Structure 1
Amino acid sequence: MSSSVIEAESVLAVDIGSVFTRALLFDVVEERYRMIAATQVSSTIGAPFFDISESIFQALTRLEEITGRRLMEEAHLLLPTQEDGSGVDRFVLTFSAGQPLRVVAMGLLEDVSLASARKVLESTYCQIVEQISLNDRRKPEAQIDAILRARPDLVLIAGGTDQGATRSMAKLVDLLALALQLMPAENRPEVLYAGNSAITKQVSDRLEPYMRPHTVPNLRPDIDLENLIPAQEALSEIVYQRRSHQIGGLQSYSMISAITPQPSLRAFGRMIQFLEKITNAPQGVLGIDLGSATTGIAMARGGTLTMQALPIGTGFGLAKALEQNPLESITRWLPMHASDETVRDYLWHRTLYPTTVPTSLEYQAIEQAMLRQILAQVATRVAPDEGMYGFEPILVSGYALTQATSPAQSLLALLDGLQPIGVTTFILDPYGLLTALGAIAPLNPTLVVQVLESNALVNLGTVIAPLSPAQYGTPILKVRYELESGETSSVEVRQGMLVPLPIPNGQRARLHLQPLRPLRLSPTGKDTARSFKVTGGLLGAVIDARGRPITLPTDSARRRDLLKRWMATLGG
């Protein structure tokens, strides 16, 4: 047994969301780390408790019932593991609950330093409420008034390459110092300086009479080079510090956490980056975490991790999603008739009561339609121009998707919403495992690797989505597949079809693709005959030849009939 297994035999991971609190227990079974149990309870961050301690207590109580293992004594977590096997060795905490930080971004150039600053701020739970740059034509006093009106929790200053512009940066800092001087001490924001390193000491000296700024290496040490990671790490710490004063019980649990509690998206993104490294996937790995208030996106490609926290979600975040999407973009995905008033009323009701369970097939369909539109917004953020080409794999977590009534519902929602192109494997994370492992990774990499090798993640299936200009119904592709048993089969795929391949779950198969018409599976150009291996998921493998973007009939009856047929094709 490796030394890392001996050092930390059991770990408890808790994630605090705005609607749910999740708890996952990991331990060694037959000299291998495994997820022993997982549970989910309603969060108590809001009324009537306003304290996370109650939901953590409920989650641990449920884990005790599931495992028969005593984890608490007098309502307190037992640390470390006791001689009788009760308790756990380590505890980690992540969080996504709470209001986003209000941020003022200050920089020199809108499309350079401020663009880098936005990437940093989008990587966690922040809302940019004001921007100030050299191009800002407002007078200094108007800019100061804007900062005061914004009531920021944080001011991020970026700009100037290393050893580059100093005078312009110093003017921005002086402007901020004047604004801080006018604020009551208790209302002054945190300041994160990530600009020209040549004036870091000057920045500290200028601002320290009012507050102690956080300084990190320059976001843009060179005009063509970005260095976002130090600022992202500092921002995660600032978010935690702010949350610890806003969320009851967070400070007390941070005292027993093996590492400083961190934003859930930060931990989730760490795992997506890790998966990209170990799979060495040239297409990149995409992770989507569908939360109630926020949808997190983590994309790792070529060794670079990009994270975005979209202020839309499947519960509280529906309000923002409804503002951004016309109602017809949602109702077009309904397989039955529902009036606009019914759809609108139900979705607004969900923003007030995000734990509501749909009580009819109609309400369930409305939720699935809204989910597709949220996923479409994710796709627009990930690939605004060239389309969603073959990430391998795409990993998705979030109650709204992982708790769908059938795997077919989950996969079809992903295909309709994201509309990927090329070859993509869809993996569901029903327990929030990736966020937990991302928090544990700095402590125990062995646990992370061994749990990933288990069956805790769910393979929905591999999807092959070719692009072809052929007319509807035209044969475009011949697919032959060979199972491990030696059994072979083939199918002809026509444009507009959704074709399942019955590859047993967990079994390997070799696919041979023979184009019958010009088509494309990658952004590099036209594809010729090719073969590759896939592992069957819950739905085997699927050929999605419906084209991109998916075009739905304008006639409502035909459209609803088509949606039903697609679901029936996948076995839903």
Structure 2
Amino acid sequence: MAQLNPDEINVILATDCGSTTTKAILIQKVDGVYRQTHRGEAPTTVEEPVADVTVGVMNAATEVGELAGRRLVDDDGNIIRPATENEGCDIYISTSSAGGGLQVLVTGVVREMSAASAERAALGAGAIVLDLIASNDRRRPHEQIQRIRELRPDMVVMAGGTDGGTEKHVVQIAELIAPAKPKPRFGNTYQLPIIFAGNKEAAAKVQETFDESIALSIVDNVRPTLEFENLEPARDEIHDLFLEHVMAHAPGYERLMKLTDAPIMPTPGAVGNILQQIAKAKGINCVGVDIGGATTDVFSVFDGADGKPVFNRTVSANLGMSYSISNVCSETGMENVLRWVGQAMDERELRNRVKNKMIRPTTIPQSAEALEFEQAVAREALRLAYLQHKEFATTLKGIQQQRTVGDTFSQEGGGRSIVNNLKLNLLVASGGVLSHAPQMSQTAQMMIDSFEPEGITELAKDSIFMMPHLGVLASVHPQAAIEVFERDCLIQLGTVIAPKGTGKPGKKCFSYRITGESLNESGEIAVGDYVVFELGLDHTAKVELNPSRGFDLGNGAGKSVEATVRGGTVGLILDGRGRPIWPV
């Protein structure tokens, strides 16, 4: 695309091609500020009988154009550019998770070290990791080969060995993949892409292991030393190969790539991109979650040990609200689900309700009792997904420890999680059960109960799941993406104040003094209390907080905190239930 002056971009069309629905939004410059003005959607058409993703894209673009009174698609099925007074757009961009998204097989030598770094690179690029094959994953070679044959990945990401380190084990992994001859998911006639991001000394031997059925790309090592992780080259190559190989062979994507003015991004990668942009622009730590029917994605940006932001993403493949709801109940136990329910419920009837949800995934609760139970399950799905995320988002394992050679392969203990709720500034929610809760207060309550934010944390939800569109927009026009994110994407729910620590119910947890234009309050919060003050959108207040001994609001146990907090549709929440809220 020819480089456009950002000042000349006034009308932006963006689409997100989901597995079932293609969503289009129109962004326009209004009074000098970018705003999301209209939205349309249409069924995704990547499957038979249409088998052409651009048909769904044009249908969604046509709908948003009709709503806006602006003709966006011409008679030949092309996006009209550039924009005039009443037709066309200046740029068209898109993301996609149609056809199941980007599916990757990851391999490495030590599961907790090089393989974990390769997994972080793949997840950060927006991939679904089908499996992780490592020298120490306890499967025998023939079992690993059989597993590789069973999978139909879009590509393979290989890691292993620090630069100048082991070559033998790296080559052994390649010798598992070569005879297994994994078949790509789309198209059987093209070479399967394999990215080698391991010990550069072993690259030549790895290349010799594969035949012409493999398209091998060699990039910088994701773990050049034990103390350093270098994910960007692998992430960039995954993205490039996603466009070059995977998208080019998916039905209709070759034409879609010619229509867009920027490279198509995998939907989860775009969500991660906008969160990183916001964290960088505001200098904050943030967590985002997207809970779906089958999976729950958690994204985080936290300051690392060197002060630089570290991005992590996890996909909890068995934690969702329809296809995976039975797994949530099984993994956490029905007693943990029922602790969030305020009325007596028959456990046998609930188990039948869970099974019905699995076979009829599109149904929605029809009674207050059914809604309360579904939101209770959501709390546990989110809680478990966040625990998995914390375990994955760690400091590098294998460094600064006294270890024997045997310990190197076992890696017990490992790194510490960089996810610190006391340092969390913003928590963003999306996904049906959160976004479509009948009351905003229910969304806020689910977020607080499952993520257990500590200190002072702002809560928000994605209004219409716009983050993917803004993530790809951020790659070409960061200013427009941030302006729309703040004004139209997020619905500010408010701020929660919650000390870290536990105490006896009824005892003093913290005292507070709140002063603002619309709110002036003071008093004490006892252990177990949960109080909400009305503090509207665009309103702020100053708070002076004095936690009791053993409770920490961010400055240390028992130390006072002063801050300015923002309101929202729910308001200012003072949560004295302690952390953890309940032992599990």
Conserved? CA contact 1:42–1:55, under 8 Å:
yes
The reply on whether 1:506 has 2:538 as its aligned counterpart is yes
Q: Which moved more, 1:336-345 or 1:414-423?
A: 336-345
How does 1:37-48 map onto structure 2 within 5 Å? 37-45=38-46
Aligned to 2:265: 262
Q: Which moved more, 1:79-88 or 1:95-104?
A: 95-104
CA distance in 1, matches of 2:78, 2:349: 46
Q: How far does the alpha carbon of each residue in 1:512-569 deviate from its partner, in whole angstroms, 9 at most, with x for none?
A: 11234441123x74141221101111122111111222239x9xxxxxxxxxxxxxxx
Q: 1:494 to 1:67 in 2, by over 3 A?
A: same
Aligned to 1:378: 385
Report the secondary structure of 2:532's partner residue: strand
Q: How many angstroms does 1:508 deviate by?
A: 1.6
Aligned to 1:96: 97
How does 1:60-209 map onto structure 2 within 5 Å? 60-74=61-75, 76-99=77-100, 103-123=104-124, 124-129=126-131, 131-133=133-135, 138=140, 143-180=144-181, 186=189, 189-209=192-212
1:478 to 492, 495, 511: 511
Q: How many angstroms does 1:276 deviate by?
A: 1.5
1:521 to 519, 535, 553: 553
Q: How far does the alpha carbon of each residue in 1:155-207 deviate from its partner, in whole angstroms, 9 at most, with x for none?
A: 32211112322343234334433333999974974312110123334433442
Q: How many angstroms does 1:44 deviate by?
A: 4.8
Q: How far does the alpha carbon of each residue in 1:206-228 deviate from its partner, in whole angstroms, 9 at most, with x for none?
A: 42533211222101111111111
Report the secondary structure of 2:487's partner residue: coil
CA distance in 1, matches of 2:183, 2:48: 34
2:428 to 388, 395, 400: 395
CA distance in 2, matches of 1:191, 1:475: 59
Q: How many angstroms does 1:69 deviate by?
A: 1.9
Q: How many angstroms does 1:232 deviate by?
A: 2.3
CA distance in 1, matches of 2:461, 2:248: 34
* Superposition RMSD in Å: 3.2
Gaps of 5+ in 1: 555-572
The reply on whether 1:542 has 2:573 as its aligned counterpart is yes
Q: Which moved more, 1:260-269 or 1:199-208?
A: 199-208
Q: How many angstroms does 1:454 deviate by?
A: 2.5
Aligned to 1:404: 437
Conserved? CA contact 2:314–2:389, under 8 Å:
no
CA distance in 2, matches of 1:135, 1:517: 45
> What letter corresponds to residue 138 of structure 1 in structure 2?
R
Report the secondary structure of 2:197's partner residue: strand
Q: How many angstroms does 1:68 deviate by?
A: 1.9
CA distance in 2, matches of 1:102, 1:451: 30
> What letter corresponds to residue 109 of structure 1 in structure 2?
V
CA distance in 1, matches of 2:546, 2:387: 30
Conserved? CA contact 1:398–1:430, under 8 Å:
no
Report the secondary structure of 2:272's partner residue: helix
Q: How many angstroms does 1:299 deviate by?
A: 0.9
Conserved? CA contact 1:180–1:188, under 8 Å:
no
How does 1:409-424 map onto structure 2 within 5 Å? 409-424=442-457
CA distance in 2, matches of 1:182, 1:231: 21
The reply on whether 1:249 has 2:260 as its aligned counterpart is no
Conserved? CA contact 1:461–1:539, under 8 Å:
yes
The reply on whether 1:291 has 2:264 as its aligned counterpart is no
Conserved? CA contact 2:44–2:98, under 8 Å:
no
Aligned to 1:493: 525
Conserved? CA contact 1:483–1:503, under 8 Å:
no
Q: How many angstroms does 1:372 deviate by?
A: 1.0
Aligned to 1:14: 15
CA distance in 1, matches of 2:563, 2:441: 24
Q: How far does the alpha carbon of each residue in 1:108-164 deviate from its partner, in whole angstroms, 9 at most, with x for none?
A: 22332122223234443324335231676735x665445334454433221111232
Conserved? CA contact 1:174–1:206, under 8 Å:
yes
Q: 1:358 to 1:463 in 2, by over 3 A?
A: same
Q: How far does the alpha carbon of each residue in 1:54-89 deviate from its partner, in whole angstroms, 9 at most, with x for none?
A: 543443343234322222234824320354521222
How does 1:322-471 map onto structure 2 within 5 Å? 322=329, 324-384=331-391, 388-471=421-504
Conserved? CA contact 2:156–2:194, under 8 Å:
yes
> What letter corresponds to residue 292 of structure 1 in structure 2?
G
Q: State the TM-score, normalizing by the size of structure 1.
A: 0.86
CA distance in 2, matches of 1:403, 1:71: 30
CA distance in 2, matches of 1:398, 1:182: 33
Aligned to 1:565: none
Work out the percentage of aligned pairs sharing the same amino acid: 26
CA distance in 2, matches of 1:449, 1:153: 32
The aligned length equals 547
> What letter corresponds to residue 494 of structure 1 in structure 2?
A
> What letter corresponds to residue 462 of structure 2 in structure 1?
D
Conserved? CA contact 1:468–1:476, under 8 Å:
no
Q: 1:300 to 1:65 in 2, by over 3 A?
A: same
CA distance in 2, matches of 1:327, 1:381: 19
Q: Which moved more, 1:156-165 or 1:345-354?
A: 345-354
Q: 1:305 to 1:188 in 2, by over 3 A?
A: same
Q: How many angstroms does 1:380 deviate by?
A: 0.7
Conserved? CA contact 1:57–1:75, under 8 Å:
no
Aligned to 1:564: none
Conserved? CA contact 1:466–1:521, under 8 Å:
yes
1:530 to 536, 546, 561: 561
Report the secondary structure of 2:260's partner residue: coil
Q: How many angstroms does 1:484 deviate by?
A: 3.3
CA distance in 2, matches of 1:397, 1:118: 24
CA distance in 2, matches of 1:102, 1:67: 36
CA distance in 1, matches of 2:353, 2:144: 42
Aligned to 1:219: 222
CA distance in 2, matches of 1:182, 1:475: 62
Conserved? CA contact 2:503–2:578, under 8 Å:
no
> What letter corresponds to residue 571 of structure 2 in structure 1?
G
CA distance in 2, matches of 1:314, 1:48: 29
